[in-house]
Amino acid sequence: MTSTDPVKPVATSAEALDPVALATALIRAPSVTPQAQAALDIVADLLADAGYRVERLTFDTGGVPVVNLYARIGTDGPNLCFAGHVDVVPVGDAARWSHGPFSGEIAGGRLFGRGAVDMKGAVAAFLAAALRHGQPRKGSLSFLITGDEEGPALDGTVKVVEWLKAKGETLDHCVLGEPTNPAVLGEVFKIGRRGSLSGVVRVQGVQGHVAYPHLADNPVPRLVRLLSGLIAAPLDAGSAFFPPSNLELVSVDVGNTAFNVIPAEATGRFNVRFNDHFSLASLKADIRRRLDAAGEPYDLTFPPGASESFITAPGPFVDLVAGAVEAVTGRRPEASTSGGTSDARFIKDLCPVVEFGLVGQTMHKVDEATSVRDLQDLSTIYGEIITRYFAHFS
């Protein structure tokens, strides 16, 4: 479902141009995934006031309506898109926060609140940067903001990407504002992500009394042999842009609390974070080969949600982003593909995407907070990216 907001005159309020004030307003609009409507309303109204064509996109394949936003100013290319999310993870025990999780309080030079780092801060930073820049003389600026990144990600960016493809809307390059820096702003930006594949191995047996094993069939030793085969040898040694792939066993379960019962079934679960040595198809084949080598019967399933690895190859766009970061912070950021997945895994189907955001030390934690100075500098970096981008690509 799509709704389009009318175009309004250019916004000039000082608050709209101030990333700290804007981040504070977003934090004070609670938006625990997927209930992000309040925060998206702030973004939509701001962009509509600035002359953007704003479209709210609601999808509901997961059983709960999720609202997303795509906004663009300009009609010709190139189209530089900033992407992010305004949904946040739950706050946990609010009593443990030294500042209210949705207070947006500033103390000791830090802005506190759920989403300050991940990633309302970055959303505020790139919105303020774009509004300061104004409409490009040639080309377009756009925003892709979802309310379903921290949730199952079924009705968020992946659906907006499908919608953009169906409309024939072109994104030429994208900057995603996920937190990328380990300790200091300017250390790291991400030019790709490893793929992710989860799997479940089940072994059937026959339940029985442990004192009479000949009357039962214990599946646990067979599952142990199967899982041992999975992790017996490294998957690979890494590649030019990626660390080695890793397969991690995350659960072994027999649903049995008794000491005198042989269980009827044993289940093992695993996740693989893999590099460009593999595609999903070749990785699945390698996993089956390893399991088959154990010589035990098994059932293998791969739950939905898998993603391929990808890389935005070094070149003019990657250099441009790195140069903008260095110009503001004095640090040349390291190009990385580490960490978990992000919505870049969907956006890469439309255009090259690079991720750069705040320092991620407090994301998802109690007392999530960002340095006010970092937030201001990040907005300056985004502004520098915009200026350099249209100077180079227009």
pLDDT tens digit sequence for 241-251:
999 999 999 99
Looking at the predicted structure, is the pLDDT value of residue 234 above 70?
A: yes
85 labelled ligand-binding: yes
Mean pLDDT over 59-82 rounds to 95
178 labelled ligand-binding: yes
CATH code for 2-193+309-393? 3.40.630.10
Q: What letter represents residue 263's amino acid?
A: P
Rounded to an integer, what distance in angstroms lies between the CA atom of residue 103 and that of residue 100? 5
Mean pLDDT over 381-387 rounds to 98
The better pLDDT of the pair 152, 244 is held by 244
Compute φ and ψ for 285, nearest 5 degrees.
-65, -40
> What length is written for the chain?
394
Per-residue pLDDT band for 13 (boundaries 50, 70, 90) equals: low
pLDDT tens digit sequence for 353-382:
999 999 999 999 999 999 999 999 999 999
Per-residue pLDDT band for 394 (boundaries 50, 70, 90) equals: confident
Fold agreement (2-193+309-393, 195-301):
no
pLDDT tens digit sequence for 28-57:
999 999 999 999 999 999 999 999 999 999
Per-residue pLDDT band for 339 (boundaries 50, 70, 90) equals: confident
Indicate if the alpha-carbon torsion angle 156, 159, 163, 165 is positive or negative: positive
- Architecture of the CATH domain 195-301: 2-Layer Sandwich (3.30)
Rounded to an integer, what distance in angstroms lies between the CA atom of residue 2 and that of residue 69? 9
Looking at the predicted structure, is the pLDDT value of residue 146 above 90?
A: yes
According to the model, what pLDDT value does residue 62 have? Answer: 75
Q: Which of 4-13, 218-227, 328-337 has the weakest average pLDDT?
A: 4-13
Mean pLDDT over 261-286 rounds to 97
According to the model, what pLDDT value does residue 8 have? Answer: 36
355 labelled ligand-binding: no
Mean pLDDT over 140-163 rounds to 96
Q: Map the chain to HEC letters.
A: CEEEECCCCCCCCHHHHCHHHHHHHHHCCCCECCCCHHHHHHHHHHHHHCCCEEEEEEECCCCCCEEEEEEEECCCCCEEEEEEECCECCCCCHHHCCCCCCCCCEECCEEECCCCCCCHHHHHHHHHHHHHHCCCCCCEEEEEEECCCCCCCCCCHHHHHHHHHHHCCCCCEEEECCCCECCCCCCEEECEECEEEEEEEEEECECEECCCHHHCECCHHHHHHHHHHHHCCCCCCCCCCCCCCEEEEEEEECCCCCCCEECCEEEEEEEEEECCCCCHHHHHHHHHHHHHHCCCCCEEECCCCCECCEECCCCHHHHHHHHHHHHHHCCCCEEECCCCCCCHHHHCCCCCEEECCCECCCCCCCCCEEEHHHHHHHHHHHHHHHHHHHHHHC
Reference 72, options 135, 158, 153; nearest CA is 135
pLDDT tens digit sequence for 221-231:
999 999 999 99
Looking at the predicted structure, is the pLDDT value of residue 10 above 60?
A: no
Mean pLDDT over 61-73 rounds to 93
Mean pLDDT over 80-106 rounds to 97
Question: Mind telling me the catalytic residues?
Answer: 87, 149
The better pLDDT of the pair 5, 377 is held by 377
According to the model, what pLDDT value does residue 2 have? Answer: 53
Mean pLDDT over 174-198 rounds to 97
Mean pLDDT over 15-33 rounds to 93
According to the model, what pLDDT value does residue 172 have? Answer: 98
Could you tell me the residue ranges of all domains in the chain? 2-193+309-393, 195-301
